[in-house]
A and B are shown apart, each in its own frame.
Chain A
Amino acid sequence: MSPRFAPGERVRVADRWPAGHHRTPGYVKGRAGVVLSTHGSHGQPEVYASFGDGRPRQPLYRVRLGLRDLWLGYAGGDTLDIEIYEHWLEPA
């Protein structure tokens, strides 16, 4: 599966709150950042967690966000780099 987003592109982490296991932390949901790099395609943690085979596999990205975009009152240019699977990303 070829990646939908390219390095440098603005993306937003989906603001979804499913009950089951997934590997997208709540504190980045709904927040926008920039794609840094892509790292192949991998089975979906949600599907593995329900004893499935992980398909459809999803491209994995490293995404950079500003800490001041995550936390009220955070001053300065500190950053967060985080791994997000493609089905959790939307164009921003």
Chain B
Amino acid sequence: MHDHDHPHSPPQPDDPEPSTEHHFLGLALRELLIEKGHITADDERRMIERIESQTPAIGAAVVARAWVDPAYRARLLAHGRDAIAELGFNPGNYPDIIVLENTARLHNVVVCTLCSCYPRPLLGRPPAWYKSAAYRARVVREPRAVLAEFGTHLAADVEVRVHDSTAELRYLVLPLRPAGTEDWSEDALAALVNRDAMVGVAQVRGG
């Protein structure tokens, strides 16, 4: 790509599966933390329950509200974190959550090329493909080919904008509302919204 007269450090190991060694280290750390009284097994259970309570249904409720309420949509696009909290959801400890509005001329898609940063308070845990080296490497290099593999075929005059979630912020794609849903209730709309559309690899299809 560009000329180099300097050596590069080798890339860090990138295997998403924990090694046996790290798995055992994690178990040992957990047992020591409990044995020394820093946390209790109940604390750990509550943390896991909280993590598992975060699902894409939260993001879908935010999207559906934005579809039916133009004033809310404007607040969500201007200050994502505050607008999410306004609905009673915990937006997490991020300085902001950037809401990316898809339009007829612009399609947004989110990746973390460095690891697996993901809007967990809104979508829960990231899917395996989001963490895969292939998705992370390819979606910034050939986004249209990756989107096509997810069934998202975009016209040439639609700009693709890739968002690399490399640091402190988190991102939620506000998908296009499908045609034919003008009379739908907010709840019915929320049921239509799917996780992949809020990451930006898919679109929301009509009912």
> Which positions in A face B, CB cutoff 8 Å?
17-19, 21, 23-28, 30, 39-40, 42, 45, 60, 62, 67, 70-72, 76-85
Chain B residues touching A, range: 20 to 34
- For residue B95, CB closer than 8 A to chain A, the reply is yes
How does the 8 Å CB contact mask read for B112-152 relative to A, with 1 for contact and 0 for none? Answer: 01100000000000000000000000001101100000000
Nearest residue (CB) in A for B98 is: A62
Query: Do A42 and B95 touch across chains, with their CB atoms under 8 A apart?
Result: yes
Nearest residue (CB) in B for A21 is: B12
Return chain B residues, CB-CB under 8 Å to A72. 1
- Majority SS at the chain B contact face: loop
Q: Offer 25 A-B interface pairs, CB within 8 angstroms, sorted by A.
A: A17-B8, A17-B9, A19-B9, A21-B12, A23-B114, A23-B166, A23-B167, A24-B166, A25-B114, A26-B8, A27-B140, A45-B167, A60-B169, A62-B98, A62-B169, A67-B162, A78-B144, A78-B159, A79-B160, A79-B162, A81-B161, A81-B164, A82-B166, A83-B164, A83-B169
Question: Lowest 10 CB-CB distances: which A-B pairs, in order?
Answer: A83-B167, A82-B164, A78-B160, A19-B9, A83-B166, A79-B161, A81-B163, A80-B162, A25-B113, A40-B95
Return chain A residues, CB-CB under 8 Å to B166. 23-25, 82-84
Return chain B residues, CB-CB under 8 Å to A40. 95, 168
Return chain B residues, CB-CB under 8 Å to A78. 143-144, 159-162
Return chain A residues, CB-CB under 8 Å to B98. 62
> Which positions in B face A, CB cutoff 8 Å?
1-2, 6-9, 12, 95-96, 98, 113-114, 140-141, 143-144, 156, 159-169
How many angstroms from the CA of A27 to the CA of B6 in the assembled complex? 15
